Amino acid sequence: MTPKDFFEFAKSNGAEMVDLKFCDLLGTWQHCTYPLDILDEGTFEEGLGFDGSSIRGWQPINHSDMLAIPDPSTAVMDPFFAEKTLSVLADIVDPITRERYSRDPRYVAYKGAQYLKSTGIADTCFIGPEPEFFIFDEVRFDQRQNSGFYAIDSTEGAWNTNRIEEPNLGYKPSYKGGYFPVSPTDTLYDLRGEMVRELKKVGIMIEAHHHEVATGGQSEIDMQFAELTKMADQFMWYKYIIKNVAFKAGKTVTFMPKPIFEDNGSGMHTHFSLWKDGKPLFVGDGYAGMSQMALHAIGGVLRHAPAILAFAAPTSNSYRRLVPGYEAPVNLVMSSRNRSAAVRIPMYSESPKAKRFEFRCPDPTANGYLAWTAMLLAALDGIQNRIDPGQPLDKNIYALSAAELAKIPHVPGSLEESLNALQTDHKFLLAGGVFTDDLIETWIDYKRENEVGPLKLRPHPFEFFLYYDN
């Protein structure tokens, strides 16, 4: 879509307002809305100014002026404004140098796609994520000097089988019992269906939706695989639409990986493949029908996984999920069909187009632009340096003895450990200038100063149970 097409599209849809959206460093959309009649075709070259110092992890106050350049190819009608509004994504540019901004996550993904082509290895990276999320009826939380708590509730919560509901009919998924139940136990079918309809309106292809394993409204809606940058754009729309559809229905959605104690958390298993000239490159006669290229790509992802997780499992809550016993992939091995491995090779189809691997460690708090680009660069490093993925482990990993488990590398145990891994292992991310030292240092510093450090200072509610009367 050209700028001219943009204005024709707006006119044909009766839009009088334009909502400009861009992604901050941590993966949250920011937006500003403009009357359509103050924009012209020059806007798509000149951009629109904003205060970059007010965006997390971006500019200092003495260099705050930034430009957002609308990308007309991303224009769609926004589903949630009362007044007809055209929504468009933006790229960020320095107003002095006119160069694209190194900390703009969308630019990182763009550079990753360009670097892939420059290697000659492949020309397209396809990403197929499976984001999971919880739909709650209520959430309350607070943190003060003298108190700290959270409380969530769901009509589906197994903890509510004894609640007076006038009447309580008892159809509530049990802990770890929420996978694929039909109604009336699955009460969220229609709401997920509405989410799917809105996602399709903005051009996102959906493969399936269903209830997930946990009680309390855990759900999953799967998007059809797409090129990396396009999928990262779609993931932003995905979160926006799902949250807003739930809000309109009087419910609330969280992508936190582990909001419920002693039940499964929400992951974002990510399917990954490389193609060239329209042909898949991962099919072969190696383990699980994979090509040698694919196995080396897996080797790169496994070797660099602790550093990748600083972007792909980027919150302290992520590591409440990455623990044994809740279907979480805590062991850095590959396997076919085995969902307890960090890298799984799906065996549903023999079609060459379906041949891919699935990295199971990421979760939906990730910034897709950064997490999937980091995954791509790790895979390319594996291919270029012929990194051996090690022997597959097709046993039930959770049933192994302590001695056997001790020989298997594990995911980091905390956000702090992942950040330390990123600090010591990030050379692979600098290939082709895709990531920059500046972005990596900013990410690490921000996470340490705003998340890791403050969390260490606060007493945990469970500590009162453990220690108050000591």
CA distances from 298 to 220, 281, 307, 357 (A): 25, 13, 15, 8
Residue 172 burial (CB count, 10 A): 23
Query: Active-site residue 339, yes or no?
Result: yes
What stretch of H or E contains 438? Answer: helix 437-447
Identify whether 320 is a catalytic site residue: no
Catalytically annotated residue among 212, 233, 416, 451:
212
Q: Rounded CA gap, 180 and 98, in Å?
A: 51
Q: Do residues 286 and 391 touch, judged by C-beta distance below 8 A?
A: no
Which is the catalytic residue, given 269, 296, 303, 321? 269
Tell me how far apart the alpha carbons of residues 365 and 320 are, in angstroms, rounded to a whole number.
13
Question: Considering 5, 8, 41, 51, which one is annotated as catalytic?
Answer: 51
Nearest of 210, 191, 328 to residue 268 by alpha carbon: 328
The token duo for 226 is: 């797409």
Nearest to 103 by CA among 32, 44, 23: 23
Q: Computed from CA positions of residues 421, 345, 282, 208, in that sequence, does the dihedral angle turn out positive or negative?
A: negative
148 and 459 in contact (C-beta within 8 Å)?
Answer: yes
HSE toward the beta carbon, residue 55, CA cutoff 13 A:
27
448 flagged as catalytic? no
Which of 130, 198, 233, 451 does the annotation list as catalytic? 130
The radius of gyration of the chain's CA atoms, rounded to the nearest angstrom, is 23
**Annotated catalytic residue, options 186, 220, 233, 263:** 220
Which of 78, 104, 132, 451 does the annotation list as catalytic?
132
Distance of CA 374 to the CA centre of its chain: 12
- Give the three-state DSSP class for 195: helix
The Cα-based distances of 214 to 11, 217, 331 in angstroms read 45, 7, 22
Question: What is the Cα–Cα distance from 463 to 458, expressed in whole angstroms?
Answer: 10
Sign of CA dihedral 347, 349, 354, 360: negative
Burial 294-304, CB ≥16 within 10 A → b, else e: bbbbbbbbbbb
Indicate if 360 belongs to the active site: yes
Catalytic residue among 296, 360, 363, 426, which?
Answer: 360
Q: DSSP 3-state assignment of 66?
A: strand
Q: Which of 260, 295, 365 is CA-nearest to residue 27?
A: 365
According to DSSP, residue 224 is labeled P
* Residue 156 among the catalytic residues: no
Q: Which helix (H) or strand (E) covers residue 135, if one does?
A: strand 124-136
- 190 among known catalytic residues: no
Please answer whether residues 47 and 67 qualify as being in contact, where contact means their C-beta atoms are separated by less than 8 angstroms.
yes
Instruction: Report H helices in 189-321.
Output: 189-201, 228-248, 292-312, 318-321
Cα 398 from Cα 51, distance rounded (Å): 50
Q: Catalytic annotation on 262?
A: no
Catalytic residue among 339, 394, 410, 425: 339
Q: Choose, from 198, 358, 381, 451, the residue flagged as catalytic.
A: 358
Query: Which residues are the active-site residues?
Result: 51, 130, 132, 212, 220, 269, 339, 358, 360
